[in-house]
């Protein structure tokens, strides 16, 4: 295994802590005390400003900089590095009233109106110009301010399903985008197979958005619209980045991504910024996403043990340089899920140290103090609304001490590469074929299987170098770029390829010669037909089951795992394995163990809820279970933090080279 | 315990029976026979007219009074007192076509069109003027008619979710209402915390209705809109009441409220009328509301044993004078729930006598004869469509005989006061924080726990005198008016206060010093944080469980009931108890029993399905179970109706002072 | 039992096979080879053209006939009879852009836009004229072409809920339709009981469509709208049929109906065409409709054993001449259900032979070759996208051989008549009274009970002759035409009448004298009241249960099957039986067995999953179970195909007269 180069930025050598702060929420007299308490707790970074447009520009063209000047001064003088947000996620009412067409329309054609946030359509040229204008104004004033060390563009692009819009602005922009992509409308008709139901267009101006059709629109139409919508986010972000680069040299530009969110191509946005940020809410995500009832109970106050880690590894791989921050870390109960329990004591520290183990440069808690009003009044902060310490503050303080004790860590090792692409999730959700099929969750389940074996995983996009990895996993990539197919053919490690991979062209067609299309050089077979299975219908093997999906194949590959009734679950051809069904956890465990062992990787039998991660010479162990577990003896090293027997929410850090 | 003064109106001394009748549905020749059969069955009141606008004014400005003159004459001559409804719940098509803006818009922006009923927006000034005009016309003609003894305004305000409207008329009225409430837009911005997401307004004309926002609007915005919407109902009703008062002196004005309905503040409407009416459909409510699968089966043909009683006690307390009627009593199967079984034989009589025990002046069956056409053709009446007796008629006749035998009853005793406020339910449904949390249902579950102990309960609004009560229960009142806090501090009985009480200011903010805010004088503690729990996650105690919600607190109170893992379910401070979780029935039973015993109240161990109520010197017992039960010997007295062993749907009335 | 006359058309004497083909999807060079392979596989019919408008008329008024001329020539020269579809289900974008009002609006008022298919409102006169214009153009060119042997009008009327439309065009047409039906608006008001909630109209121009009302609209209003909507489909179809009749003499005109679809009156459409076609997708229907979880698993790869047969018998009875085709037969997995498993090997052959047993003239597979693009890219064909054989092709070839071996069959016998009317399903779904109640599913459950006894069933409309039947079953016919009541009174066989029959007039009113209304001559009783029961509430008898519904009755009938608690499930009066509850399968089995025996019919004890059907002197047996079953010895005859022990998906044909 090859260690990565330690980043050149010395700040990144040791992970920093920070918080999100809203000086505009609090009397100015409280600011100095707040800043002093942050520093005393071990925080050195503070994010501000991202929702403050109505205070920065209370009337059109009239700016009120005084309060923000003073806030930055107070924070900077306390020794805090300021991460300044552009306020474009919350345009003020006067702007919406002047520019009503900037509002997005939802898929049902309803306006998505002012009154919360993200009330804009990414395709609206007028609003994009306004976003650039306010970004320029803020950057002109603070771009070279010594306390300002980084920028956040906007806030959580796409939150509340805000990537797609079915507005007039979006329709016009989509037509231009199509003209640029296809050149002629005949090319578009052919690419999409529009002959199918007389859907042929005579000009790009005949193309509509794919919503509100009588039955489903052409999946190729949807895929183009998803690509277009993603590109609009990229362009919107890039316009701000260009302003910031020119007016604020030397500062990092970051955006805060979300969890389990695939509505735009994060790899494309990440290519324009310096640091991939993300907002980590393990309990909210457990409750909001597709976890089993058993997991919801077992991990109600911890979060499923792979939620945070999956995203750490995803966003570390998202940026070409591997730089990433947790810019919003859940510090206690949140307000926005259907049920909002409190973390077990210790979890805030555990989540913080886990980010460290995965290579974060920064963990910043959301938020400093709980605001007693408005939408998130039930969202915890490090302080309660009355400024008393909330439990998260003590855990942050403890984490700061731990980090100091652990010292700078090396980068995570290169062991397993898991390849994920955003269009994979677009394709499978546009055309699940079996209800609920999603490439994102296929990736997550493969990731869980690998992590239960104690393996470290990098999640990378197609096209990233595979050098140094012992095992490469493609959980589900319907569209395989030619370059990736060639990489896989040259790759010397073990390869696991999951269902539906290679089953579609870039234009959402079944490839010539059938699936796996361009993968046929490494998978010498042909998928003759596919099945999706209703709940309860399964083909059972030795302790595992084929569920949800079957790729029936024929060709030169060898059956490796076969259900009792003869249905093939896993095919093998030398170092290449093909998983012809959903990565059900027991089946994925058998498969990944075989592949890892063939790859020369050491695997561990971890108790339920225990997870490991290496960083340089250290191995971190995290107990997500709600009962004590023991780190197996196969994990070598001496504890420098904690001990082998871990209570709930406890952490142990071993000093020794990882396996 | 203190008995209330028996109302001065001699009519109220003995409960009357009546029915709802639609002469416009039937040939005029049938009316005399109908009236005679009503009287023969023991009925003395008849409600008419509330849906008859298209017959009263078939063309704009052309009135047809003849049929109604004759109908009232026939009914009055038979000895029936007529309750006349204003027909404003069903404006005719010609009115809607002249005034299309009167239509409400739903939260999705869709018009709620003509074709059923309640197709108007409470904020539309033009329609309000029309409602006054038709009310005036009817009242001028019949206001002093000797047969007309009372009025009903409109019909079931809010039915079919018709309180809120998102129309232009509502938006304009809301802006005016806000201006009146807040004075300046800066005051509004501060009150709502609009700085949070740059939601600040520069004028009231910038404020939108809170629907169709990208994610949830500010809860303070919603609460203001709920208050505004409630006030519009109050104003709409008051406009009619003023006409009726001036043109029909000496007659009672009543409105018919519904069950489990909180969309407007019924206390406010009740303050303007003489009698709180309500429409009692125990089977429809069981099927339509959040009862458990077990209760749905056990009580499918009886209704849950607290449905009718809860509303009797709610609406008795709703009106300052305690005057209330059941104006629509389910007489058999209804048509409007998902499943519509028939009542067990005897239930119609049981429901009638239960209303008597709770102090009703009138029980009026809906409806005299089943109409074989239109929306409610499957809704039973006392007669079938062919004029033959339906089972309800015999039971009404039996009830009339029972009432005569029992004679005038005294008022219910003052024992337990349960405080309920409509804004409590608005706050908890605007911000459940844990899915399904509702102050209404917290109140219902506390009520059930009290009633299972055989206790009599008054449900009263904040501000009503607590004199004479031994126990006061606040199931869940997030917003506590200062006056109530002061009352509780002075109150000499036992007090039980439930979760989230005192957790919000009038403007939907967390109070300074945290919850329980103004209750901190009686509850010397501070709620440090709250949790909502997913289904299945529970902290178990001795036979009970903490579910759904936990208020974590610290301070000077003493843990009284503690779960096995140490989580405190009930805190105590002298006579004040705080329930820090959902009133799960087993837990609420333990808690209420302790509080009742401390209050010096006798409690009973009632078998499942048995309920008691006192009225003057009598104790009524009602068997809602679908198998026989025995009234425990702890209930003293001699049966004057029925016997101690009660079959399903049977009633026993004991003559003796209650415990 | 009386056999029907064998149709005069010699083509019908032996069932033919065919397929659906889209020459426009494939390079012209592939056509000859495709045609040759079809013929080699035993196919002799090919359906083409029904979605090809954009290729036939690529610009307004500019026709491109060349490709279609050549396609028909190639197919015809290969010996295939061409069934040509009118392309009106997929109007091209240029037409929609010229005529935006042709778009339907859904019940929520949203446009149902271009981008898939069926984007038109049946009431739009402009589009109807366009449909006639394109039909005329196609028929003028190919109406007398020797290869063209039949026509299909449009495609799957109503697919994607496209019968009803709430557009301006529909509103105007509805008003005209009402004026024609009722003559005066007073007549309409009386017929609907509009006095009920002041819903009276002063002119037809005041009548709105019944959507978007505050609560449910008058059920009579809905029923009129459903009738109107059905009539619009009939008129739309008739306009095309008239063109085809005049321009293409001697060719059959057919339309392809769907499964479990009742949104228009198929009997009315069938009266205008020569052959009732239908599209048979047993696996998709199992997954999409209301089958139990157990059935979904047991029959996941076979389809419930009555799905195909029910529709065969329904559409055979739909057309007065009994002519019917399966024009689209599922050949493998489909794409459009929530889960899409593959058929068990053998099922495609089984479905084909089952259609033969039920008297089909043609089974045509959808589709020849899987198209790798657009909406149905995952829908199997007889060929895969790469032109290799899919499993369906081999089974079609086998079926062709079987058919040749079996030879011409006689018609199905007249044994049991099951009467079904489309307005029955409209009435019960407009007013289920108990959630999920549907006359269609009552009919299906009765059908299943009959088929489990080994009986052959004809499904016929009210008014069709009952001569020759031994048993007549009316599962649920709320509205009974007088003529049917008279037929039943004269009928000499046994009669079973199901719940709610006779309970409504033609105008959705409870009949005078109560239910069963006009049936009171044969059912001397009166339904005093009805109940719908929540799930779990049941009245149990000897191995059976009364669920969902109870008609409580009194009168001169005799209780025949009585639940333990005394509730009557089945009443009897001579040869007439009345089922007073839902046809729960165990109860329906007891009832139908009694009725069949009384009718002199032999019944069989069939193992689960086995079904029989007679055709002339042959008895076909089909094993839908996923394990082997044996045909009982009570089924007489010698196997000419297969054997008595049937593996999954196997078929046995016995040569001998049926029982």
Instruction: For residue B311, give the DSSP letter.
Output: H
Collect all residues of chain A within an 8 Å Cβ-Cβ radius of residue B511: 372
Residue C531 annotated among the catalytic residues of the structure: no
C599-602: which pairs have CB atoms within 8 A and are 24 or more residues apart? C599/C470, C599/C471, C599/C493, C599/C494, C600/C470, C601/C415, C601/C416, C601/C455, C601/C470, C601/C471, C601/C659, C602/C454, C602/C634, C602/C659
Domain boundary among A377, A406, A435: A406
Collect all residues of chain C within an 8 Å Cβ-Cβ radius of residue A193: 25, 371-374, 377
Pairwise CA distance, residues B61 & C476, whole Å: 47
The vertex-C400 CA angle with C395 and C406, nearest 5°, equals 120
ipTM: 0.96
Is the pLDDT at B188 greater than 50? The verdict is yes
Same structural domain, A261 and A129: yes
Separation of first and last alpha carbons in chain A? 10
Collect all residues of chain C within an 8 Å Cβ-Cβ radius of residue B384: 514, 528-529
Task: Check residue C657 and give its pLDDT.
Answer: 52
Domain that holds residue B475: 416-598
Task: Check residue B657 and give its pLDDT.
Answer: 53
Pairwise CA distance, residues B552 & B641, whole Å: 50
pLDDT tens readout for residues A74-109: 999 999 999 999 999 999 999 999 999 999 999 999
Pairwise CA distance, residues C323 & C329, whole Å: 17
Phi-psi region of A543 (alpha: psi -120 to 50; beta: other; left: phi over 0): left
Q: Work out the average pLDDT over C132-146.
A: 98
* Residue A393 is assigned to a structural domain of this protein: yes
- Residue B41 has phi, psi (to 5 degrees) of -80, -5
Same structural domain, A325 and A359: yes
* Residue C370 is assigned to a structural domain of this protein: no
CB contact under 8 A, A198 and C338: no
Q: Work out the average pLDDT over B8-25.
A: 81
Same structural domain, A155 and A199: no
Collect all residues of chain C within an 8 Å Cβ-Cβ radius of residue A512: 386
- Of the residues A86, A339, A387, the best mutation for testing chain B's interface (the one with the most B CB atoms within 10 Å of its CB) is A339
Instruction: For residue A199, give the DSSP letter.
Output: -
User: Looking at CA atoms only, how far is residue A10 from chain B in angstroms?
Assistant: 35
- Of the residues A178, A189, A198, the best mutation for testing chain C's interface (the one with the most C CB atoms within 10 Å of its CB) is A198
| Catalytic member of C50, C57, C130, C156 | C156
| B549, closest residue in chain A (CA to CA) | A341
Task: Check residue A170 and give its pLDDT.
Answer: 98
Is the pLDDT at C457 greater than 50? The verdict is yes
| SS3 of residue A202 by DSSP | coil
Which residues are CB-neighbours of B249 under 8 A, at least 6 positions away? B143, B144
Is the pLDDT at C656 greater than 90? The verdict is no
Task: Check residue C5 and give its pLDDT.
Answer: 40
CB contact under 8 A, B219 and A58: no
Same structural domain, A512 and A644: no
* Residue B503 is assigned to a structural domain of this protein: yes
CB contact under 8 A, A199 and C374: yes
Same structural domain, A234 and A383: yes
Is the pLDDT at C429 greater than 60? The verdict is yes
Chains in contact with A via at least 3 Cβ–Cβ pairs below 8 Å:
B, C
Is the pLDDT at C8 greater than 80? The verdict is no
Task: Check residue A3 and give its pLDDT.
Answer: 37
The two structure tokens encoding residue C103? 């778009």
Q: Out of C435, C508, C510, name the one closest to residue B338 (CB).
A: C435
| SS3 of residue B537 by DSSP | coil
* Nearest CA-CA partner of C316 in C324, C326, C308: C324
| ω into A543 cis (within 30 of 0) | no
* Residue A4 is assigned to a structural domain of this protein: no
Please list the helix, strand and coil fractions of chain B in percent, rounded to the nearest 5, in that order.
Answer: 35, 20, 45
Residue that the structure tokens 């009520």 belong to: B447
The two structure tokens encoding residue C460? 């016929």
User: Looking at CA atoms only, how far is residue A305 from chain B in angstroms?
Assistant: 18
Same structural domain, A357 and A479: no
Going from the C-alpha of C620 to that of each of A569, A609, C16, C614, C658, the distances in angstroms are 37, 58, 18, 6, 10
Going from the C-alpha of C465 to that of each of B245, C317, C419, C430, C461, the distances in angstroms are 68, 11, 11, 29, 9
Is the pLDDT at A552 greater than 70? The verdict is yes
Q: What is the CATH number of the domain that holds B466?
A: 3.40.50.880
Residues of A marked as catalytic: 156, 328
Residue A657: pLDDT band with limits 50, 70, 90: low
Q: Which residues pair with C252 in a beta bridge?
A: C150
Collect all residues of chain C within an 8 Å Cβ-Cβ radius of residue A529: 332-333, 342, 380, 384, 390-391
pLDDT tens readout for residues B467-479: 999 999 999 999 9
The two structure tokens encoding residue B380? 């039973």
Are the beta carbons of A38 and A368 closer than 8 angstroms? yes
Is the pLDDT at B7 greater than 60? The verdict is no
CB contact under 8 A, C197 and B342: no
Half-sphere CA count of C630, side-chain side, radius 13 A: 3
Pairwise CA distance, residues C42 & C396, whole Å: 8
Same structural domain, A532 and A392: no
Pairwise CA distance, residues B282 & A154, whole Å: 53
CB contact under 8 A, A296 and B109: no
Q: Which residues pair with A460 in a beta bridge?
A: A419
Q: Among residues of chain A, what percentage have pLDDT more than 70?
A: 98
pLDDT tens readout for residues C194-236: 999 999 999 999 999 999 999 999 999 999 999 999 999 999 9
* Residue C633 is assigned to a structural domain of this protein: no
Task: Check residue A277 and give its pLDDT.
Answer: 98
* Nearest CA-CA partner of B462 in B436, B430, B491, B433: B491
Q: Out of B115, B297, B386, name the one closest to residue C537 (CB).
A: B297
Q: Work out the average pLDDT over B576-600.
A: 98
User: Looking at CA atoms only, how far is residue A531 from chain C in angstroms?
Assistant: 5
Is the pLDDT at C6 greater than 90? The verdict is no
Task: Check residue A7 and give its pLDDT.
Answer: 41
Dihedral, A88, A90, A92, A93 alpha carbons, nearest 10 = 130
| B206, closest residue in chain A (CA to CA) | A93
Residue A210: pLDDT band with limits 50, 70, 90: very high
- Residue A553 has phi, psi (to 5 degrees) of -135, 160
pLDDT tens readout for residues A426-463: 999 999 999 999 999 999 999 999 999 999 999 999 99
CB contact under 8 A, C214 and B116: yes
Chains in contact with C via at least 3 Cβ–Cβ pairs below 8 Å:
A, B
Q: Are strands B549-555 and B545-546 parallel, antiparallel or unpaired?
A: unpaired
Pairwise CA distance, residues C531 & B391, whole Å: 14
Residue that the structure tokens 């800043």 belong to: A35
Q: Which residues pair with C646 in a beta bridge?
A: C629
Task: Check residue C411 and give its pLDDT.
Answer: 79
Domain boundary among A343, A377, A406: A406
How many C-beta atoms lie closer than 10 Å to residue B483's C-beta? 11
Pairwise CA distance, residues C521 & B254, whole Å: 48
* Nearest CA-CA partner of A501 in A540, A553, A460: A553
Q: Work out the average pLDDT over B126-152.
A: 98
The two structure tokens encoding residue A318? 């998202």
Q: Out of A435, A512, A534, name the one closest to residue C296 (CB).
A: A534
* Residue C473 is assigned to a structural domain of this protein: yes
Burial of B215 (0-12, 13-18, 19+ CB in 10 A): middle
Which of the two residues, C658 and B545, has the higher pLDDT score?
A: B545
The two structure tokens encoding residue C269? 């459409």
* Nearest CA-CA partner of B282 in B261, B269, B298, B301: B301
CB contact under 8 A, C300 and A197: no
Pairwise CA distance, residues A287 & C341, whole Å: 31
Collect all residues of chain A within an 8 Å Cβ-Cβ radius of residue B220: 373-374
Same structural domain, A203 and A236: no
* Residue A604 is assigned to a structural domain of this protein: no
Collect all residues of chain A within an 8 Å Cβ-Cβ radius of residue B513: 386
CB contact under 8 A, C532 and B287: no
| Structural domain count of chain C | 1
Pairwise CA distance, residues B385 & B402, whole Å: 27
* Residue B477 is assigned to a structural domain of this protein: yes
Are the beta carbons of B474 and B450 closer than 8 angstroms? no
Is the pLDDT at A605 greater than 60? The verdict is yes
Same structural domain, A349 and A488: no
pLDDT tens readout for residues B29-70: 999 999 999 999 999 999 999 999 999 999 999 999 999 999
Are the beta carbons of B581 and B547 closer than 8 angstroms? yes
CB contact under 8 A, B196 and A300: no
User: Looking at CA atoms only, how far is residue A51 from chain B in angstroms?
Assistant: 5
């Amino acid at each position: 295994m090859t260690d990565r180069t330690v980043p050149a930025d010395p700040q990144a050598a040791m992970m920093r802590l920070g918080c999100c702060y809203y000086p505009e929420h609090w009397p100015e007299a409280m600011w100095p005390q707040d800043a002093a308490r942050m520093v005393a707790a071990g925080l050195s970074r503070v994010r501000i400003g991202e929702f403050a447009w109505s205070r920065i520009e209370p009337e059109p063209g009239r700016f009120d900089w005084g309060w923000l000047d003073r806030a930055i001064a107070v924070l900077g003088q306390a020794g805090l590095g300021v991460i300044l947000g552009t306020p474009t996620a919350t345009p003020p009412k006067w702007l919406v009233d002047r520019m009503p067409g900037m509002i997005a329309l939802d898929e049902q054609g309803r306006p998505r109106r002012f009154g919360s946030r993200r009330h804009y359509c990414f395709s609206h040229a007028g609003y994009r110009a306004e976003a650039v204008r306010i970004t320029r104004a803020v950057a002109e004033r603070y771009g070279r301010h010594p306390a300002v060390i980084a920028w956040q563009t906007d806030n959580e692009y796409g939150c509340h399903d805000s990537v797609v819009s079915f507005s007039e602005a979006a329709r016009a922009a989509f037509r231009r985008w199509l003209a640029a992509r296809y050149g002629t409308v005949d090319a578009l008709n052919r690419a999409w197979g529009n002959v199918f139901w007389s859907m042929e267009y005579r000009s790009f101006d005949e193309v509509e958005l794919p919503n509100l059709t009588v039955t489903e629109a052409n999946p190729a139409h949807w895929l183009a619209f998803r690509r277009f919508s993603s590109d609009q986010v990229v362009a919107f972000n890039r316009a701000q980045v260009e302003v910031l680069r020119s007016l604020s040299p030397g500062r990092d530009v970051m955006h805060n991504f979300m969890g389990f969110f695939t509505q735009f191509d994060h790899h494309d946005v990440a290519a324009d910024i310096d640091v991939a940020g993300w907002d980590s809410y393990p309990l909210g995500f457990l409750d909001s996403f597709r976890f089993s009832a058993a997991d919801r109970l077992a991990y109600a106050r911890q979060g499923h043990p792979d939620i945070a880690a999956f995203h750490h590894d995803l966003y570390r791989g998202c940026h070409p340089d591997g730089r990433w921050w947790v810019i919003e870390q859940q510090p206690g109960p949140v307000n926005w899920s259907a049920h909002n329990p409190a973390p077990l004591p210790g979890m805030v520290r555990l989540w913080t140290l886990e980010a460290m183990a995965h290579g974060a440069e920064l963990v910043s808690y959301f938020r400093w103090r709980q605001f007693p009003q408005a939408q998130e009044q039930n969202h915890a902060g490090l302080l309660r609304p009355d400024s008393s310490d909330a439990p998260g503050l003590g855990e942050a303080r403890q984490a700061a001490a731990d980090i100091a004790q652990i010292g700078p860590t090396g980068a995570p090792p290169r062991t397993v590469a898991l390849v994920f692409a955003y269009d994979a999730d677009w394709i499978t959700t546009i055309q699940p074929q079996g209800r609920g099929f999603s490439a994102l969750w296929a990736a997550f389940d493969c990731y869980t299987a690998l992590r239960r074996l104690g393996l470290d995983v990098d999640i990378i996009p197609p096209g990233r170098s595979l050098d140094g990895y012992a095992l490469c996993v493609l959980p589900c990539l319907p569209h395989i770029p030619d370059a990736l197919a060639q990489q896989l053919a040259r790759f010397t490690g073990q390869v696991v390829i999951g269902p539906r991979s290679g089953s579609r062209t870039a234009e959402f067609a079944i490839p010539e010669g059938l699936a796996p299309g361009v993968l046929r050089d490494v998978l010498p077979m042909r998928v003759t037909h596919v099945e999706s299975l209703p709940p309860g219908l399964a083909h059972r093997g030795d302790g595992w089951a084929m569920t949800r999906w079957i790729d029936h194949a024929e060709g030169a590959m060898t059956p490796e795992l076969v259900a009792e009734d003869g249905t093939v679950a896993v095919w093998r051809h030398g170092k290449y394995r093909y998983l012809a069904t959903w990565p059900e956890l027991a089946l994925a465990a058998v498969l990944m163990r075989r592949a890892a062992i063939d790859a020369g990787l050491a695997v561990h039998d971890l108790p339920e809820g225990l997870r490991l991660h290496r960083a340089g010479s250290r191995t971190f162990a995290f107990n997500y279970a709600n009962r004590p577990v023991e780190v197996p003896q196969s994990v070598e090293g001496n504890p420098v933090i904690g001990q082998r027997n871990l209570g709930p929410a406890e952490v142990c850090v071993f000093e020794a080279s990882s396996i």
